[in-house]
């Protein structure tokens, strides 16, 4: 193709689209070129001077991030000359860096620290005192800024200018006095602020939500999907597997869905996963029972009613697999189709969108649920603020599949109190909730972090969840419960 050019990096040949930089070609080839200011989701600044590479025919070393690749270019990233340049560039970055890694929250995932171990000089030749700058500045509800650790890569300034277009941050003063900051103590106020802590290559921006809670090397990450809204950002979920404790979510690059970023609302999606907020045992008529007894109660209840006296209330926060398991299982045991309702939050503005990622539909699988219902040819009525359709259905058994992320349902308590009024209502949920105690039967379920399955986002992109070990091992996912119910029904026959 004419718009492709071929160059060689460390004697390996690679074809890239014309106009690509050496850095992009190196990334494509899997050659790592050390860098600070370059970020694939932001514009090129070329200020850190760290990504030096040797280009044959050019008298001096060039920066890989801002040098366009040309046909037949021969690039070298490993020679002694290049390594020497990296070493000295790093020495200059460290002139005023406090090197307080032992008390720095970024330690373990700090690019400066990693490169220092890799290409650092170890013995600094600097004799002058380090310049002292403001530390531990409160720059918003989510972030703390330490300007001494900052290496002035300007990633955060470009993020504010280009992604959120809020332009709250700037580089003030000059020379060794230059600092990142906001104007006159103004705060960073937008729904994407944690991304600043992510893209900061050093510990200058740290997240209030995470700092000093856990060292990053104790965390294991699982590739999964954010359940916060119908965008369904690809994320990494970080768990301390020794403590069975979840600490945070970070975005995972997915060009189809979220690019490099995710919103602050999505970052809170670890809070409902930990044991202290979770249901652990089933509750029948207000008393704790075994999981077997709970399922037996459901099984018995389904035997004595006809299909049109059973109501199923879905929220769009379960996996597609769970919806089909519920519908198929009930169709078999009831020998007919139950009445299906879809419960939507009454204050929800489903179509709203903030222009970056966050959508008004706070359910991760609305599209997946709709597809399953269509596939099973089940018609569903919507319950949004008005529950009369359900009340008039005259159901003798109601199965309510409550939202996993309760913060997305501000009027949850009101809605639940309506379900409680019904005869024999069963609640499948995962959080401790006073109103849910009043259900005839309450069964705990797994969260998105613990089950396998699929979420289909607003755009029809299906993504798989990754199952971590469950916080409460006896708790199962909805599809697993209904498989057990099927077995119970068979053994009874």
Residue in this structure with the two tokens 């709970």, named with its chain if needed: 294
CB of 407 to another protein, least distance (A): 32
- Residue of the chain from 171, 356, 391, 488 that contacts another protein (CB under 8 A): 171
CB of 168 to another protein, least distance (A): 7
Q: Report the distance separating Cα 282 and Cα 305, nearest Å.
A: 22
Q: Of 92 and 172, which has the nearer Cβ to another protein?
A: 172
- Residue of the chain from 3, 13, 125, 184 that contacts another protein (CB under 8 A): 184
Q: Of 13 and 184, which has the nearer Cβ to another protein?
A: 184
43 binds another protein (CB under 8 A): no
Tokens at residue 372, please?
């399953």
Q: Of 58 and 132, which has the nearer Cβ to another protein?
A: 132
- Return all residues near 3 (Cβ < 8 A) that are at least 6 apart: 17, 18
174 binds another protein (CB under 8 A): yes
Q: Are 28 and 15 within 8 A, CB to CB?
A: no
Tokens at residue 272, please?
């409902």
CB of 150 to another protein, least distance (A): 15
CB of 213 to another protein, least distance (A): 31
CB of 167 to another protein, least distance (A): 5
CB of 120 to another protein, least distance (A): 30
Q: Which stretch binds another protein (CB under 8 A): 48-56, 100-108, 162-170, 415-423?
A: 162-170
Report DSSP state, residue 474: T
Q: Which stretch binds another protein (CB under 8 A): 170-178, 253-261, 411-419, 447-455?
A: 170-178
Q: Of 6 and 182, which has the nearer Cβ to another protein?
A: 182
CB of 66 to another protein, least distance (A): 20
| Three state DSSP letters for 251-303 | ECCECCCCECCCCHHHHCCCHHHCHHHECCCCEECCEECCHHHHHHHHHHHHH
- The footprint of another protein on this chain (CB under 8 A) covers a number of residues equal to 12
- Residue of the chain from 168, 265, 319, 447 that contacts another protein (CB under 8 A): 168
167 binds another protein (CB under 8 A): yes
- How would DSSP label each residue in 352-375? -B-SSS-BS---TTHHHHHHHHHH
- How would DSSP label each residue in 399-447? EEE--SSGGG-TTHHHHHHHHHTSSSEEEEE-B--TGGGGSSEEEEB--
Q: Of 176 and 256, which has the nearer Cβ to another protein?
A: 176
Q: Which stretch binds another protein (CB under 8 A): 180-188, 210-218, 264-272, 307-315?
A: 180-188
Residue 405, CA distances (Å) to 270, 278, 375, 462 in order:
10, 12, 26, 20
Q: Report the distance separating Cα 233 and Cα 229, nearest Å.
A: 8
- Residue of the chain from 4, 173, 288, 375 that contacts another protein (CB under 8 A): 173
183 binds another protein (CB under 8 A): yes
Q: Which stretch binds another protein (CB under 8 A): 176-184, 210-218, 370-378, 401-409?
A: 176-184
Which positions from 55 to 74 touch another protein by CB under 8 A, shown as an x/- string? --------------------
CA–centroid distance for 325 within its chain: 26
Which residues lie across from 238 on neighbouring strands? 221, 248
- Residue of the chain from 58, 79, 134, 172 that contacts another protein (CB under 8 A): 172
Name the region of 110 (left: φ>0; alpha: ψ -120 to 50; beta: rest). beta
- Residue of the chain from 7, 29, 163, 169 that contacts another protein (CB under 8 A): 169
CB of 171 to another protein, least distance (A): 6
Q: Report the distance separating Cα 246 and Cα 237, nearest Å.
A: 8
- How would DSSP label each residue in 215-229? -GGGEEEEEEE--SS
Residue in this structure with the two tokens 């020379």, named with its chain if needed: 175
CB of 163 to another protein, least distance (A): 16
Q: Which of 347, 382, 376 is nearest to 362 (CA)?
A: 347
CB of 183 to another protein, least distance (A): 4
Q: Of 11 and 184, which has the nearer Cβ to another protein?
A: 184
- Residue of the chain from 170, 259, 360, 486 that contacts another protein (CB under 8 A): 170
Tokens at residue 397, please?
């058994």
CB of 225 to another protein, least distance (A): 35
- Binding residues for another protein (CB under 8 A): 167-174, 182-184, 186
């Amino acid at each position: 193709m004419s718009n492709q050019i071929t160059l060689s990096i460390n004697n390996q040949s690679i074809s890239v689209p014309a106009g690509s930089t050496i850095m992009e070609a190196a990334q494509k080839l899997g050659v790592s070129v050390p860098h600070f200011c370059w970020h694939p989701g932001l514009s090129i600044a070329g200020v850190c001077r760290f990504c030096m590479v040797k280009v044959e025919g050019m008298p001096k070393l060039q920066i890989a991030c801002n040098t366009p690749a040309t046909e037949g270019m021969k690039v070298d990233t490993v020679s002694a000359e290049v390594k020497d340049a990296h070493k000295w560039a790093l020495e200059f970055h460290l002139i005023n860096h406090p090197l307080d890694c032992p008390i720095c929250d970024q330690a373990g995932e700090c690019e400066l620290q990693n490169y220092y171990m890799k290409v650092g000089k170890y013995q600094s030749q600097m004799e002058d005192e380090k310049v002292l700058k403001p530390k531990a500045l409160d720059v918003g509800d989510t972030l703390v800024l330490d300007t001494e650790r900052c290496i002035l890569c300007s990633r955060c300034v470009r993020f504010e200018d280009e992604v959120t277009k809020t332009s709250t941050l700037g580089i003030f003063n000059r020379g060794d006095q230059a600092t990142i900051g906001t104007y006159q103590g103004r705060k960073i106020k937008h729904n994407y602020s944690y991304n600043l802590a992510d893209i900061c290559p050093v510990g200058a921006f740290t997240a209030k939500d995470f700092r000093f809670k856990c060292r990053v090397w104790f965390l294991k990450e699982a590739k999964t999907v954010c359940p916060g809204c119908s965008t369904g950002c690809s994320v990494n979920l970080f768990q301390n597997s020794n403590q069975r404790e979840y600490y945070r979510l970070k975005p995972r690059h997915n060009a189809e869905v979220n690019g490099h970023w995710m919103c602050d609302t999505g970052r809170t999606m670890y809070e409902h996963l930990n044991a202290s907020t979770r249901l652990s045992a089933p509750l029948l008529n207000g008393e704790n029972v075994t999981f077997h007894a709970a399922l037996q109660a459901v099984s018995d209840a389904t035997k004595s009613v006809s299909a049109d006296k059973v109501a199923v209330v879905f929220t769009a926060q379960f996996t597609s697999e769970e919806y089909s398991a519920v519908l198929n299982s009930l169709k078999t045991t009831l020998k007919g189709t139950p009445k299906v309702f879809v419960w939507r939050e009454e204050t929800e503005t489903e179509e709203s969108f903030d222009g970056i990622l966050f959508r008004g539909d706070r359910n991760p699988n609305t599209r997946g649920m709709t597809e399953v219902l269509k596939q099973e040819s089940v018609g569903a009525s919507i319950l949004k603020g008005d529950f009369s359709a359900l009340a008039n259905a005259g159901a003798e058994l109601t199965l309510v599949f409550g939202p996993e992320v309760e913060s997305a349902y501000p009027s949850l308590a009101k809605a639940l109190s309506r379900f409680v009024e019904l005869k024999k209502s069963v609640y499948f949920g995962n959080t401790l909730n006073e109103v849910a105690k009043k259900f005839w039967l309450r069964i705990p379920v797994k969260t998105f972090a613990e089950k396998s399955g699929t979420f289909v986002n607003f755009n029809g992109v299906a993504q798989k969840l990754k199952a971590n070990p469950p916080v409460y091992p006896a708790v199962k996912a909805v599809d697993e419960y209904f498989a057990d119910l099927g077995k119970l029904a068979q053994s009874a026959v």
